[in-house]
Amino acid sequence: MSAQPKLKHSLEEYLEIDRNSNERLEFWDGEIFSMSGVSREHATVEMNVSITLGGRLRVKGCQLFPSNVRIKVPGMPPYHYSDLSALCGKAQFEKIGGVDALVNPSLIIEILSPSTEAYDRGDKFTYYKSIPSFSEYLLIAQHRPHISQFIKQPDDTWVFREFNSLNDTVRLETLSCEMTLNEIYQSISFNVPGRA
C-alpha cells in the first residue's frame, strides 16, 4: 500500500486560500501550513512582550506589529508570519496577491514551539535574512526562561547573545529599548528540576 500523495498548491491558489482564511497560513514548496493555535504559555509570552514593548515603542514613534501581519520575505516568496515584528520610522507595505505585506521590519520575534523551533532557528532565519531592513532576531523559549538574540553587524555578520535568568535584561539594539525576562515571562510558572 502506498502513502497518499500530498496535495500541491500553486502560489495563486495559496494566495486565494490565505486571503479568505481566518488562520495564519504559510506556503512552502506547494504545501500550505497552518500557523494558528498556540499554547497558553506561548500566548502569555506574546501578550507580555506586546504590552511591554508596545508601550515603550509608542513613546518613541516606533511600531510593533502582531502575528497576523504578513512580512514580505524575498528569499521565500510570497510572505510569512512572525509572532511579532517592529520598526522605527515609517512602515512600508506592498500588495501581494491582494493583501498588504510589511517590507521593512527591523526586529522579528518568534516564540518557540516544539514543532517550529528547528525551522525558526534554521531555515526561517535564513529566509528572513533576505529582508534588507531586517537586523535583529529574538527567539523566545516558552518552556524555560531563555532568549536567543541575533544582531546584524555592519559587515553582514550576526552577533549572538543568550539570556537565561529572569533577572537578565535584553537590550533591543534596533529599537534602542530594553525588556527584562521577568517582564517577558510574567505569569508563567516553570518546572524547576529537583522541586516537587
Residue 165: other Cβ atoms inside 10 A: 11
Q: What is the mean pLDDT of the chain?
A: 89
Strands 25-28 and 147-152: unpaired
pLDDT tens readout for residues 76-125: 989 999 999 999 999 999 999 889 999 999 999 999 988 888 889 999 99
Contact 138, 145 (CB under 8 A): no
Report the Cα 8 to chain-centroid distance in Å. 26
Contacts of 9 (CB under 8 A, 6+ apart): 17, 27, 30, 31, 32
Q: What are the residue ranges spanned by the domains of the chain?
A: 38-184
Summarised one tens digit per residue, pLDDT across range 20-67 is 877 777 677 777 777 666 789 999 999 999 999 999 998 898 999 999
| pLDDT (0 to 100) of residue 46 | 95
- What pLDDT, on a 0 to 100 scale, did the predictor assign at position 69? 95
Assigned CATH class of 38-184: alpha beta
